[in-house]
Amino acid sequence: MVERKKPGSGGNNKRRLAGKGPTPKAVDRPYHPAAKRKAAAASDPKKGKASSRREKEPRAAREFEVQDDVIVGRNPVVEALRAGVAVKRVMIARGIDIDERVREIVELARQSRIEVLEVNRKELDPYPAHQGVALKVAPYKFRPLNEVLQKISGKPLIVALDGVTDPRNLGAIIRSACAFGAHVVVIPDRRAAGMTAVAWKASAGAAARTPVVQIKNMTATIHDLQGEGFFVVGLDAGGDVPLSQMAVADEPLMIVIGGEGKGLSRLVRESCDLVVSIPISSSMESLNASVAASIALYSVSERRAQAR
Residues 92 and 209 in one domain: no
**CA 33 from centre of chain:** 36
The predicted structure's pLDDT at residue 58 = 38
Q: What residues have CB less than 8 Å from 153, skipping those under 6 apart?
A: none
- Amino acid letter for position 149: L
* CA distances (Å), origin 165, targets 188, 192, 260: 10, 4, 7
Residues 176 and 91 in one domain: no
Sign of the dihedral through C-alpha 80, 82, 86, 88: positive
The DSSP H or E segment spanning 232 is strand 231-235
Residues 281 and 166 in one domain: yes
What residues does 117 pair with on adjacent strands? 91
SS3 state of residue 275: strand
Residues 126 and 159 in one domain: no
Q: How far apart are CA 155 and CA 274, in angstroms?
A: 18
pLDDT tens across 149-187, in order?
999 988 999 999 999 999 999 999 999 999 999 999 999
Residue 45 lies in a domain: no
> Backbone dihedral region of 266: left (phi > 0), alpha (psi from -120 to 50 degrees) or beta?
alpha
pLDDT tens across 11-40, in order?
555 555 455 556 666 666 666 666 666 666
Q: How far apart are CA 215 and CA 186, in angstroms?
A: 7
- Amino acid letter for position 304: R
Domain of 180, CATH number, reads 3.40.1280.10
Residue 14 lies in a domain: no
Residues 113 and 236 in one domain: no
The whole-model pTM stands at: 0.69
